[in-house]
Structure 1
Amino acid sequence: MNNISTKTLTMKREFNVKPERVFDAWLNPLMMKKWLFTLEGTNKVTQNEPKVGGGWEIVDHRGGNDYRAVGEYLEIDPPKKLVFTFKMPQFSELEDIITVEIKEIPTGCEMTFNQLIHVAPEESWTKADLERVLGEYHDQSEHGWNLMFMGLKELVETGYISYKG
């Protein structure tokens, strides 16, 4: 697996709450199942062992299919930094690395999110094919995280997520 290409997705969000509240939403299973890769109404599994070397798993049921996301915690430094692996085994065995950094600001906190996206190029791909696929993975990931971060903001600032739509 030494022929892996990567692209980094970086996103920033501000929340009108203390850093501890946002950090907790990444690790507390009761909060995770409301926004992280799932919604409370479609969540089938939320398991979490929030320690370095511990794992997490979320299974969401959408459109008649189960979607499983899993990973392992690499670094936990409350409430400032969280690093973990992320993969969806039904699509790829490759693991992305996600780093979440949270800092206090006068209005609450700012979260910086980085996802190191891994892609294994197929033999027939040209350099242009690889760049196109990396761009698609980046854009699809950004779209998904945008939706999740809207739910995260609503959850940490109001205590619930209204299901619009």
Structure 2
Amino acid sequence: MISPAPHNNTTLVLRRTFTASRQRVFRAWITPRALEHWLRPRGMGVTVSQLEARVGGSFRFDLEDGSSIVGTYLQIVPPEKLVFTWSGRVTQGRETVVTLDFLDQGAVTEVVLTHEGLGTEAMRALVGAGWPSLFDALAEVLSSPHLDL
């Protein structure tokens, strides 16, 4: 279940629990094959054309509609935390910052996503509507025994 947390009008905070180890959930965010299975709008394909999972490294995800999501890794603490910039169509090209905290809860992992710098309440609402479906797709990927993470 996703729980939104109150914050200011340019920051979105979501919490979601996944039935998977913290290591597996963390790796799903930095493994191209996994990302191509879940980090996409429903019904749209995505290609990970670049992914350098290191501080200062960048990523580029190309969507079937011709748009891209780009960013740079600012902090990587396996398997506890990822911080990266995020820019794409949904942020209207604005560079935002996503922080992911991976909390070990035994048999499950809680992910706390904080998406900052969204500019307006409308952008915050748009981004807030997208992450839950991505988290649903991530849950499906994490439950698949066929994806080596």
Which TM-score applies when normalising by structure 1? 0.76
Structure having the higher Rg: 1
**Matches of 1:89 and 1:17 in 2, distance apart?**
31
**Matches of 1:56 and 1:155 in 2, distance apart?**
20
Aligned-pair identity (%): 27
- CA drift of 1:106 comes to 2.7
Does 1:70 find its partner at 2:66? no
Instruction: Name the amino acid aligned to 2:143.
Output: E
Q: Which residue of 1 aligns with 2:126?
A: 140
- CA drift of 1:78 comes to 0.2
CA gap 1:21/1:40 in 2 versus in 1, 3 angstroms: farther
**How many residues are paired up?**
140
In the TM superposition, 1:1-165 aligns within 5 A as 7-37=10-40, 42-61=45-64, 65-88=65-88, 92-119=92-119, 134-159=120-145
**Matches of 1:75 and 1:156 in 2, distance apart?**
23
The runs of 5 or more residues in structure 1 that have no matched partner are 120-133
SS in 2 for 1:22: helix
Asked if 2 retains the 8 angstrom alpha-carbon contact of 1:38 and 1:59, the reply is: no
**Matches of 1:40 and 1:28 in 2, distance apart?**
20
**Matches of 1:67 and 1:23 in 2, distance apart?**
25
- CA drift of 1:67 comes to 1.5
Asked if 2 retains the 8 angstrom alpha-carbon contact of 1:33 and 1:40, the reply is: no
- CA drift of 1:108 comes to 1.5
SS in 2 for 1:7: coil
- CA drift of 1:90 comes to 9.0
The runs of 5 or more residues in structure 2 that have no matched partner are 1-7
